[in-house]
Amino acid sequence: MTKPSINLGLQLPRCIGVIGLLLAFVTVGKAQGQGGTALMHRAEKNLTRTIVRDIFSPPVASRVYLYANVAAYEVLVLGDTSYHSLQGQIGGFPAIEPPEQTVDLPLAALYAFWKTGAALVFSEKILDDSLQVILKERVVPDSVTYAHSIRFGERVSRAILEWASSDFYAETRKKRRYRYAKQPGKWTPTPPAYMDAIEPNWNMIRPVALDSASQFKPAPPPAFSLDTTSRFMQEVYEVYRVTQRLDPEQVAVASFWDCNPFFLNTQGHLNFATKKLSPGGHWMSIAGQVAQSAHLGWTATSATYLMTSIALFDGFISCWDEKYRSQLIRPETFINAHIDESWRPALQTPPFPEYTSGHSVISTAAAVVLTALIGDDHAFDDHTEVEYGLPVRSFTSFRHACNEAAISRLYGGIHYRSAIEQGQLQGDLVGRQVLEKIRLKSNISLN
C-alpha cells in the first residue's frame, strides 16, 4: 500500500521522500499552525456554548469536553512524531490506524471533534450549523482531499465514541434516584429550586488517569457538631461572618468564579434559569486563551485542551466520590436551621453535597497540568466571563487563578474552609497523576 500524504495546507515538492515529507510536516505543523488554530478555538467555544444551552451538570460537561478533545488530538498526533497517542497509555484505548488516502489533518480533527461532541449533546443542530461554517473556512487543495479528510475524521470519531460507550455513563442513567440521608449534618436539597442531588453515581465513571475514583480519598470533613467550640462550628461561623462583610473585590471574585449552570432566578411565582458556564468550561476557556497567546501550533493546542479536559474529568470523578461519601450539609441549610433563618449566601448553592469543593479540586488539577504544559508564573488575562457580563480578570499564574477560584466558594457562602483546602490538596494529587500517567510528549513543556 502506498503511504498516504498528510496535508497541513502547504504544497510540498514531489521530490521529497517519505522521510523528508515527515520532517517537512513537523516543520510545517509548528510554523503555519499558529494562525490556523483559530478554527480550533472557535470550535471549542461553540461546543461550550452548546453545553451551556443544554444545561449539562459540571461532571457531564467534563465528559463532553474529554471525548471531543480526545478525538481531535488522535487525528493530529498522526502527523507529529514529537507527540504520542493515548493508545498504549490507557487500558482499552483503541488504536487509530493512519488514513489510507491523502487527508488534511486539521480538517479531519475539526470534523472528529464536532462529530464526537455532537453525539454527546442535545442541541446537535446548533453545533452542526456552527461547525459547517468553520469547515468551509479550512482551505484544502481539492474536493477529493476534503472528502477523504471528512471520512477519516468520522472514522476516528466512531472509534472514540465506541471507547466512550464503555465508561459506565449509560449504566449510571439507569440508577434509582438518590435517597439522601435524613440524619443530622447530612446534605438535603437547598433553595430556591430544591433540586435532587446531581450525579450521585459519578464515581462509577471510568477515569482516564486515576486508578480508581477513590485513589485520592481526602481526609474526612470536620465532625458534625453543635458545640460552638468544635471545628465544624468554627468553620460555619467563619462562613456566616465572611459573607456579611464582603468587600467589592471579594464580591467580584465570587461572581467571576460562580460558574453555576443551575442558577435559578425567582421573582414572586416566576422562576427562570440564567444559563452560565460550568467550572470546567471556564478552565477549558483558560486553556484556549493561553494556547492562543502562546502561539501554539495545531497539535500543541490540541494537547493543551486534551490534558486540561483529562484533569477536569478525573477531578470531577475524584471529587464526586467524596461528596457522596461524606454527604456533608451545606452552610445555607445549617445556618438557616441553627443560626439565622433569614441568611442567604452570596452565591446560589449548587445541588449536591458540600465536601469537597468541586471548584477547588478541578481548578487545582487544571492549574497543575497547565503549569506543566505552559510554564510556571505564566501571567494571563482571563476574558472567559466577558460574554456573561463580567469584566476581565488578570492572574500572575495558573496557581494564582486556582487559588482565587477556590477561595471564591468561601466568599460565596457555599463552602466551609476545610472543603476548600482539602479540595485543593485532592486536586493537586489528581493533576500530578494526570501528568505521571499521560505522556503526550517526552518533554512535558509544550513551548
Model pLDDT, residue 32 = 35
pLDDT at 126: 84
**16/23 Cα distance (integer angstroms):** 10
- Are 428 and 291 members of one domain? yes
90-107 confidence digits (pLDDT tens): 999 999 999 999 999 999
Q: Which residues span the domain enclosing 165?
A: 16-169
How many Å apart are CA 197 and CA 199, to the nearest integer?
Answer: 7
Q: Cell numbers at residue 64, please? A: 463532553
Q: For the chain, give the percent of residues with pLDDT over 90.
A: 82
AA letter at 315? G
Q: Identify whether 11 is part of a domain.
A: no
Instruction: Find all residues with CB under 8 Å of 191, minimum gap 6, and list them.
Output: 332, 349
Shared domain for 195 and 153, answered yes or no, is no
Q: Which of 135, 169, 203 is the last residue of a domain?
A: 169
Which range of 32-41, 187-196, 206-215 scores highest in mean pLDDT? It is 206-215
Lowest mean pLDDT of 21-25, 85-89, 432-436, name the range.
21-25
Phi-psi sector, 361: left (phi>0), alpha (psi -120 to 50), beta? alpha
Indicate the residue among 150, 169, 188 that finishes a domain: 169
190 and 309, same domain (yes or no): yes
Confidence of residue 265 (pLDDT cuts 50, 70, 90): low
pLDDT digits (tens, 9 = 90+) for 345-359: 999 999 999 999 999
Same domain, 420 and 286: yes
The whole-model pTM stands at 0.91
d(CA 419, CA 331): 11
344 and 407: one domain?
Answer: yes
Residue-level pLDDT at 282 = 98
At 281, give phi and psi (nearest 5°): -60, -35
**Does a cis peptide bond (omega within 30 degrees of 0) precede residue 188?**
no
Do 288 and 158 lie in one domain? The reply is no
Single out the residue of 3, 231, 39, 247 nearest to residue 130, CA to CA.
Answer: 39
Residues 214 and 316 in one domain: yes
According to DSSP, the residues that pair with 328 across neighbouring strands are: 186
Read off the pLDDT of residues 369-393 as tens digits, 9 standing for 90 and up. Answer: 999 999 998 999 999 999 999 999 9
* 19, pLDDT greater than 60: no
CATH code for position 106: 1.10.606.20
Q: Nearest Cα to 97, choosing from 209, 3, 207?
A: 3
Three cell numbers at 243?
Answer: 459573607
**Mean pLDDT calculated for residue range 244-268:** 88
CA dist 119 and 304 (Å) reads: 22
pLDDT digits (tens, 9 = 90+) for 39-53: 999 999 999 999 999
> Residue 269: its pLDDT value, please?
56
Within a domain: 6: no
Residue 428 maps to a domain:
yes
Query: By the 8 A CB rule, do 331 and 416 touch?
Result: yes
* Same-domain pairing of 242 and 161: no
CA distance 350 to 109: 35
Residue 33: its pLDDT value, please? 40
Give the closest residue to 361 by CA, choosing from 50, 54, 62, 44.
62
Q: Is residue 8 part of a domain?
A: no
Both 248 and 123 in one domain: the answer is no
- 3-state DSSP call for residue 192? coil
C-alpha cell belonging to residue 85: 497517542
Is residue 175 situated within a structural domain? no
Q: What is the pLDDT of residue 125?
A: 86
Q: Are residues 405 and 385 in the same domain?
A: yes
Are 187 and 247 members of one domain? Answer: yes
Query: Using an 8 Å Cβ cutoff, are 364 and 284 in contact?
Result: no
Per mean pLDDT, which range of 209-213, 263-267, 351-355 is the poorest? 263-267
Say how many domains are in the chain: 2
Are residues 214 and 336 part of one domain?
A: yes
Lowest mean pLDDT among 28-37, 50-59, 361-370, 423-432: 28-37
Q: Say what the pLDDT of residue 29 is.
A: 32
Residue 388 lies in a domain: yes
Beta carbons within 10 angstroms of residue 234's beta carbon: 15
DSSP 235: H
- The rounded mean pLDDT for the chain is 90
Tens digits of residue pLDDT in 271-330: 655 778 999 999 999 999 999 999 999 999 999 999 999 999 999 999 999 999 999 999
Helix-then-strand count for the chain, H and E = 16, 6
Within-domain flag for 25: yes
CA distance 385 to 367: 18
Q: CA 371 → CA 18, 70, 394, distances in Å?
A: 36, 20, 16
Confidence (pLDDT) at 12: 28
How many other CB atoms are there within 10 angstroms of residue 232's CB atom? Answer: 20
Kindly report the number of other CB atoms within 10 A of residue 185's CB atom.
17
Alpha helices in 32-89 (DSSP H): 33-36, 38-54, 58-76
299: left (phi over 0), alpha (psi -120 to 50) or beta: alpha
CA distance 415 to 254: 12
Residue 445 belongs to some domain of the structure: no
Identity of the amino acid at 297: G
Last residue of a domain, one of 169, 193, 209: 169
Banded pLDDT at 344 (limits 50, 70, 90): very high
Query: Which residues neighbour 212 within 8 Å (Cβ) at sequence distance 6 or greater?
Result: none
C-alpha span between 61 and 187 (Å, rounded): 23
